[in-house]
Each structure stands twice: as C-alpha cells, then as structure tokens.
C-alpha cells in the first residue's frame, strides 16, 4: 500500500481530490494521515484560503482534523473572528448564553480550538 506521506493526489489523473495534510502550510491547522478533500469548483490545494475562514493568527485558533476523514467540496470552517453583532439575526442559539437580555459570558470566551471530524 502506498502511503500518503508526500503525495498530494491519491489517484492518478484526478486533480480534484487531495491528501489534505500534504497541502496545508498553516501551523494552526493539523490534519491526520489519509484525510482527503475533494473540490470540483476550485483548486483543492487552496483549501486554507477557500475553506478556513476568519482564522487570524492573533486569535490563536486551531483546526484539528483527524485521520481517514473525507471532506466534501464547499465545506467551511468558521473561527472566532466570524462573530457578529448581538443586535443582528443570530446563527446560533444565543438564548443559552443570555439571561434577561444580559450576556452571561462574553462570547469570545466560548470559542477556542475547533476539533472537527475526529
């Protein structure tokens, strides 16, 4: 069995699927062996730019993806800097964090390392 150690493309003549670990350059993104990513819209080697959003170095957010995962085209990973105003329509259930209209904990304290697809 051929290992994924240095290969970008797991299949000959298929440039839409890559071993994601070998295409990542950001030290705050960790990907396990044999995890693949398929992108039929953009170059899959641009995963960091197109799929990992709002991950700014100053926030020290980390993305950890395990071994043997398969990530679909268009999957997005949103980070701490994606927060928005409490006066706008929320994308998560703020009622869990609010008591009588007062924020129980600052929202940025509820964020940190995202462990996904483990």
Neighbour-count burial of 35, counting CB atoms closer than 10 A to its CB (0-12 exposed, 13-18 middle, 19+ buried): buried
CB 19 within 8 A of CB 11: no
What are the DSSP calls for 21-32, one per residue?
GGG---TTEEE-
Helix residue ranges, H only, the chain: 47-51
Active site residue 60: no
Active-site position among 60, 84, 93, 111: 84
Catalytic residue list: 84
């Amino acid at each position: 069995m051929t290992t994924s150690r240095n290969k970008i493309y797991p299949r000959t003549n298929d440039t839409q699927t890559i071993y994601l670990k070998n295409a990542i350059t950001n030290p705050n993104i960790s990907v396990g062996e044999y995890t693949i990513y398929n992108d039929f819209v953009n170059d899959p080697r641009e995963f960091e730019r197109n799929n990992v959003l709002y991950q700014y170095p100053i926030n020290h957010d980390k993305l950890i993806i395990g071994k043997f995962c398969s990530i679909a085209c268009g999957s997005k990973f949103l980070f701490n800097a994606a927060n928005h105003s409490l006066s706008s329509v929320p994308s998560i259930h703020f009622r869990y964090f609010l008591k009588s209209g007062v924020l129980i904990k600052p929202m940025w304290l509820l964020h940190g390392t995202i462990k996904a697809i483990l």
